């Protein structure tokens, strides 16, 4: 014969009754009272004082529950012969007389940048394979990482494209 105990079940029912009494089921003005000895806990959370953390890449300011992050501007590189970089092509044409180059240089100057590379598109090995729309000459800004190139593109606006290239004519 198996013995079963009803005590744990009875304790569970008693606890459920106390909870039901605490929750209530009336209108919005109803006040709930309880004669049970179940303690009621309250807590208050105090947010830390505002703080600022600064690194080379970003600055984060915490004010209460809000966090604001300011990302620093991506820094272009001046790559040497044979180095792999991410080139953001901002202009391309058959020759430098095309007005697209003047507009691109003006936009770069407005943002505080200068081109990393300008000249024969073939000097950016792999660029034409990645971006078939590139023409004979191009203007680009080069970065160490794809993330930096993407941040620059977001800042600059519409570009011809971005490609991982090997610098060929740096000598």
Report yes or no: 143 and 92 within 8 Å, Cβ to Cβ: no
Question: What φ, ψ does residue 10 adopt, rounded to 5°?
Answer: -65, -40
| Cα(113)–Cα(104) distance, integer angstroms | 11
Say if residue 18's pLDDT is above 60.
no
Collapse the DSSP code of 53 into the 3-class scheme (helix H, G, I; strand E, B; otherwise coil) and give the result.
strand
pLDDT of residue 161: 98
* 3-class secondary structure per residue, the chain: CCCCCCHHHHHHHHHHHHHHHHHCCCCCCCCCCCCCCCCCCCCCCCCCCCEEEECCCEEEEEECCEEEEEECCCCCCCCCCCCEEEEEEEEEECCCCCHHHHHHHHHHHHHCCCCCEEEEHHHEECHHHHCCCCCCEEEEEEECCHHHHHHHHHHHCCCCEEEEEEECCCC
Q: What's the pLDDT band for 164 if we cut at 50, 70, 90?
A: very high
pLDDT one-digit tens code per residue, 37-77: 333 333 444 445 544 444 445 554 555 555 555 568 999 99
How many angstroms separate the CA atoms of 79 and 167, rounded? Answer: 7
| Each residue's pLDDT tens digit, 96-145 | 999 999 999 999 999 999 988 899 999 999 999 999 999 999 999 999 99
This prediction's pTM: 0.60
């Amino acid at each position: 014969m198996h013995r079963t105990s009803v005590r744990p079940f009875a304790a569970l029912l008693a606890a459920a009754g106390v909870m039901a009494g605490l929750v209530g089921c009336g209108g919005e003005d109803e006040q709930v009272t309880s004669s049970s000895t179940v303690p009621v806990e309250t807590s208050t959370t105090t947010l830390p004082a505002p703080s600022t953390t600064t690194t080379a890449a970003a600055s984060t300011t915490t004010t209460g529950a809000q966090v604001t992050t300011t990302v620093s501007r991506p820094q272009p590189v001046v790559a040497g012969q044979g180095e792999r970089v991410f080139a953001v092509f901002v202009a391309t044409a058959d020759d430098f007389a095309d007005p697209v180059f003047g507009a691109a240089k003006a936009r770069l100057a407005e943002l505080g940048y200068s081109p990393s590379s300008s000249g024969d598109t073939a000097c950016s090995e792999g660029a034409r394979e990645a971006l078939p729309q590139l023409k004979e000459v191009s203007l680009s800004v080069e970065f160490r990482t794809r993330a930096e190139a993407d941040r620059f593109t977001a800042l600059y606006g519409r570009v011809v494209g971005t490609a991982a290239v090997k610098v060929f004519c740096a000598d």
